[in-house]
Amino acid sequence: MLRGAVGRQRATTSQRYHLVVFSVGGRRLAVKTEEIGGISSWDGSIPIPSCTPFVSAVIRRGQSVFPVFDLAGKLKVRVKGEQRLCLMAKQPGGAMAICIDEDMPVLHSLEAAKVQAYRHNDIDAAECFADEFEDVPILSAARLGADYEQR
């Protein structure tokens, strides 16, 4: 006769973070994959007058126009490379473009237990993960554009 295992615990699947790791001015950053609308080549931007911090340009993609968030300006660095890339960050009110270094972004998956609180105040990031060289801040696309969304 077979008996069921009394007290056997079910295996639980650990929550994973799926991230896109990229760099701006040589500084490595990450964003959750669900907050990314795409990555393409950077074709330049059109400056516009703006009172919104770090939003003073737009880009055109076909018939659509998107605001550009100057992440490099916020970090006080310059975007590196001749063939820069455009990261489209999803926002509650639409997408926002960010110019990033030409180094190809990398998909990264890690267990939630490896994510920790970000203790520096150089950028608005609540979380980070440690790799062998540094803490990599995990940015929130919605929080990057918070000033933009309120206007």
CATH number of domain containing 118: 2.40.50.180
The token pair that represents 75 in the structure block: 């970090």
Domain count, the chain: 1
Report the predicted TM-score, pTM, of the whole model to 2 decimal places: 0.83
Find, among 41, 51, 48, the residue nearest to 67 by Cα.
48
DSSP letter, residue 43? -
Residue 93 lies in a domain: yes
Does residue 147 register a pLDDT over 80? no
Does residue 144 register a pLDDT over 80? no
Alpha-carbon gap, residue 88 to 66, rounded angstroms:
9
Helices marked H in the chain:
71-75, 141-144, 146-149
- Contact 129/16 with Cβ under 8 angstroms? no
Residue 115 lies in a domain: yes
Q: Which structural domain range is residue 72 located in?
A: 16-149
Residue 72 lies in a domain: yes
Question: In the prediction, which pLDDT does 37 show?
Answer: 93
